[in-house]
Structure 1
């Protein structure tokens, strides 16, 4: 299985197992000095399963992608491989992770035990095509728990202003 945008929700119920209180869900990440043509990696809020039962993350998507920004891919990486959580990273910047050389866990679902926070975090790779008309926002997670499929949206926002 490959982790992709969760466009079709079908029989999914609205879930509530994920915490929406993290750093990324309470502010805006971004830069005022982005340039057309650049590629940025934006980290979704870390998956924190507040329920008592395990969940299996099956997909993620950035719900509002403004004109001027293109989604290139979604990925899942281990915080131990990136020396922490890179909230926003410019591709090719020596200060950030080289995602191309890291193991991408998005090829299959990631299980998060009840009451725990995952070491695996999700990212979206974005290309700036033109000055964005607004920020990109709203991180949606699809997951399975107890044989049922759920989706849950957590507020997140990345502002890539071109100079």
Structure 2
């Protein structure tokens, strides 16, 4: 995933993989992060939003873009743990709000989810990758 026509100062929203609980017990997601953030990109915050409120999954969206949801006006579920029922996909997805501070030197990648299930804490890192390029 990426965009080759970005500019320094722009803010982009990058959706992390939608959580899917394959187990027979519910789980609660406590924290998420993109593990590898290259020089030139700064994560401003993480958010969690209902797919129904955003009209689907905005995998990559530029702030102020014509199809970008107005996240500031939507309920942000990241303030408390998000529960995912057993054998179900979550209705809530997470995203990283990122600012381009300089031409990025690499891709942002590796999405980490920290969750609890049955009173035990777990961490799972999933493949994800974002390339934002600033033309020279």
| TM-score calculated relative to the size of structure 2 | 0.98
Once the two structures are superposed, what CA deviation does each residue of 1:62-92 show, in whole Å capped at 9, x if it has no partner?
Answer: 1000000001000000000000000001001
* SS of equivalent residue, structure 1 residue 76: strand
Alpha carbon RMSD of aligned pairs, Å?
A: 0.5
Partner of 1:136: 108
* SS of equivalent residue, structure 2 residue 89: coil
- Looking at structure 2, the residues matched to 94 and 32 of structure 1 have their Cα atoms a distance apart, in angstroms, of 18
- Which residues of structure 2 form unaligned runs of 5+? none
1:31-110 residue pairs with structure 2 within 5 A? 31-110=3-82
- Looking at structure 2, the residues matched to 72 and 95 of structure 1 have their Cα atoms a distance apart, in angstroms, of 21
| TM-score calculated relative to the size of structure 1 | 0.82
Runs of 4+ off more than 2 Å: none
Q: Which one has the bigger strand percentage? A: 2
- Which residues of structure 1 form unaligned runs of 5+? 1-28
- State the 1:140 CA deviation: 0.1
